[in-house]
Amino acid sequence: MPNGHPAWRWSSLGALALIFAADALTPLGFAHGILYPPVILLALFSGSIRLVSAVSLAAAVLTVAGVFISPAAPRDFAPLFVLANRLLALVAIALSGLLSVAIIHYLRQTHDAYRAQQRSRQESELLAGRLRNTLESMTEAFLVLDREHRITFANRRAERLLDTRSPAMPGQPLVAVFPQVRALLEQGGPEGEAELFYPRRECWLACRYVRTDDGLALTLQDCTERKRNEQSRLTEARALQMIYEGASLRAVLTQIVLGIEQVLPNTLASVLLLDEAGIHLQEGAAPSLPESYNRAVYGLAIGPRAGSCGTAMYRREAVIVEDIATDPLWADYKALALAHGLRACWSIPVLDGSGRVLASFALYHQHPKAPSEADRALIDRTSHIVGLALERHRQEAAQRALEEQLHHAQRMEAVGQLTGGVAHDFNNLLTVILGNGELLQEQLAREPALAELAQMMVVAAQRGADLTQRLLAFARRQALEPQVIRVNELVEGMHTLLTRTLGQHISMELCPTEDLWPALVDPAQLESALLNLCLNARDAMPGGGRLTIETANVRLDRDYAATHAEVEPGDYVLLAVSDNGSGIASEHLGRIFEPFFTTKEKGKGSGLGLSMVFGFIRQTRGHVSVYSEPGIGTVVRMYLPRAGAGALEAEPTKRVVPLPRGGDECILLVEDDALVRRYAEDQLRSLGYRVLTASNGDEALILLRQEQDIDLLFTDVVMPGGLGGPELAAQAKALRPGLKVLFTSGYTENAIVHQGRLDKGVQLLGKPYRRAELMVKIRQAMDNS
């Protein structure tokens, strides 16, 4: 109780003085003392215990003093009455003083308690204000829930984050605003946390709660950017791991798409590939899009108004369509998209290191939506991951293709070496068989039955010779005589032959290119290769069809050479043969150049036609490729090396066939095979020549030193003992500078043929040879100056 006004103090003291003065003037026996308690009660209003005590004490003293200073009592007042009057006044003063002190004390306690309560309330309000300010200034959303998970408090951050208003939130169950939080709140633990997707704002929220006696306290924080970065890194790591482990491209792209959809649950992601021609969309990965929508999109052409993905690939830049229903880029495909519930599509092209468009990455939404900066960053990052996957896949595919080509080349090389070795020995045998068969024909001319058997022997031997020649062509061991030729003129010159060969049921079309570059190639072998390809095309069209022969100038660049190990970048003359026949199955394409492999019926093909073409083109330092689709047709492309700028075209010359005649010159015959050596010796002697024989190079050198009249060295190219035909010829010419040399071989093994070309000035008689061929070649070598 606060102290009263000072007037109460002075009033009390004045009242004491007045009562005492009245008491002093009034005879004893009157109850003036009883007037003191009201004065004490008057002092009570001062609120001072000291004043009340002092007034009470003064009243008691003045009451006693009044006995001594007041006039005597009237006669009819008994002394006892006077005494009792004074005693009662003292008791009343005492009681009034005690009561006043008690009242003041009580009032002071009550006032102090009230003041304390007021101070406590003010402090509580201050603390509450500070706490509210603290909660409002938090970067996290903060909510207080009761036991039924109703919102009792939500700061402004919670209003903005949950996209609602605070007045509407208190009293609402939190699950009514944020249904995804139900599972977290029902865990039952004293505390918990989780990262949940909030559909209303399409963001991720990090949720943490702590239970209290009255409910729980909950904090929410937007973690979308961190979640996106983590998921992007995780998706990239998983994709690269899958690529490293050899997973298919579709599996890798599906992993990327599903990873992005985990970050944005209300989003549908898609990857569309672009075909090799750079025109049509191909299947990539879109597991969450409706399958009917995907099927409708695959095969569409890109263009300036081809939806989001097709336009993005065409423009080579990102295309953001916020509302498919109104955007003109979707005018032709709007009905398709809307029918599948798609309203927005953001697409970005995926480019390789050289700027070539490989694919597109797109995000679809089921309502109109514009991308945020975070969305754009996510799209850019994901397109980069898709680009890494596609580039790595291309590299892996190119590496596997190169390895397959290398293995194929090694296998073909091994077969070629084996083939060449077999052909060498086989040609030696055929030389003897063919030559003796011709001799038997001459000697059995008067016995038709036996002559027919000899004729059959010669025909069989000739077919064997043709077979070994094709094997040598495949093994790239034949001796070529490349010339600068005009391919258009060569093809035109074969038109009549090809027309007769193909038959009337097949139409042939020539498509020559004007200003075709000259090619450096053996014309005879090219004619043979072209004829083989036309025959194969004819057999692929038993019911008739169309055959097209095309020529063109082509440049094979480094990119093409990088995927074809045998190709050297440069200019080539293309000669292509295409048909619309039965085609070749994909599982057979890798083996079509192998010798004796054929897709024809048994007995209808030797399996050496394409292998001969392959060997000839490779030996010419060209390239051959085959593209085929079953039921559609086949295209075989021969890339012939372009003749250099300084190369001169071969002058047409008339062939002068020497008359079959012999001579009387001396010939040194060097042959390691005894049967061939005996056959050749007999043939040469029958032609009138003098013949010296040797089985190896060392014996031949001894004879060269002993005999002075040797006119011609007729030697095999490949011989055992370390001294082959070329080495022998070199040493022989050192001994005899004017000595003429004629080589013979069924397999030169690059001894006198380099890079497929016969060395300049070298004359060669290939095995097996007939008697007439031997006669002509010997005579040419003798007469050559």
- Residue 151 in this model has a pLDDT that exceeds 80: yes
pLDDT (0 to 100) of residue 756: 47
Mean pLDDT of the chain: 79
pLDDT (0 to 100) of residue 755: 45
More confident of the two residues 588 and 496: 496
Does the pTM exceed 0.75? no
Indicate the range of 124-138, 539-553, 605-619 predicted with least confidence.
605-619
Amino acid at 24: A
pLDDT (0 to 100) of residue 337: 92
SS (H, E, C) 202-266: CEEEEEEEEECCCEEEEEEEECHHHHHHHHHHHHHHHHHHHHHCCCCHHHHHHHHHHHHHHHCCC
SS (H, E, C) 140-200: CEEEEEECCCEEEEECHHHHHHHCCCHHHCCCCEHHHHCHHHHHHHCCCCCEEEEEEEECC
Quick: pLDDT tens for 257-289: 888 888 777 889 999 999 888 889 998 999 999
Contact 235, 385 (CB under 8 A): yes
- Collapsing DSSP to helix, strand or coil, 504 comes out as coil
Which residues are within 8 A (CB) of 763 and not within 5 positions of it... i.e. 6 or more apart? 741, 742, 743, 777, 780, 781, 784
Sign of CA dihedral 154, 157, 159, 163: negative
- Residue 338 in this model has a pLDDT that exceeds 60: yes
SS (H, E, C) 11-31: HHHHHHHHHHHHHHHCCCCCC
For residues 563-579, give the mean pLDDT: 86
pLDDT (0 to 100) of residue 609: 60
Tallying the residues shown for the chain, one arrives at: 785
pLDDT (0 to 100) of residue 468: 64
Alpha helices in 707-758 (DSSP H): 725-735
Quick: pLDDT tens for 681-704: 888 888 889 999 998 988 889 898
Smallest Cα–Cα separation from 632: which of 696, 677, 579, 592? 579
Sign of CA dihedral 688, 689, 692, 697: negative
For residues 426-432, give the mean pLDDT: 70
Going by pLDDT thresholds of 50, 70 and 90, the confidence category of residue 652 is: very low
Contact 273, 356 (CB under 8 A): no
pLDDT (0 to 100) of residue 131: 73
- Residue 707 in this model has a pLDDT that exceeds 70: yes
Going by pLDDT thresholds of 50, 70 and 90, the confidence category of residue 362 is: very high
pLDDT (0 to 100) of residue 391: 82
pLDDT (0 to 100) of residue 166: 45
Contact 159, 169 (CB under 8 A): yes
For residues 380-388, give the mean pLDDT: 85
Element (H, E) at 445: none
Smallest Cα–Cα separation from 462: which of 5, 126, 769? 769
pLDDT (0 to 100) of residue 470: 55
pLDDT (0 to 100) of residue 551: 92
Please report how many Cα atoms fall inside a 13 Å half-sphere around the Cα of residue 23, on the Cβ side. Answer: 27
According to DSSP, residue 555 is labeled: E
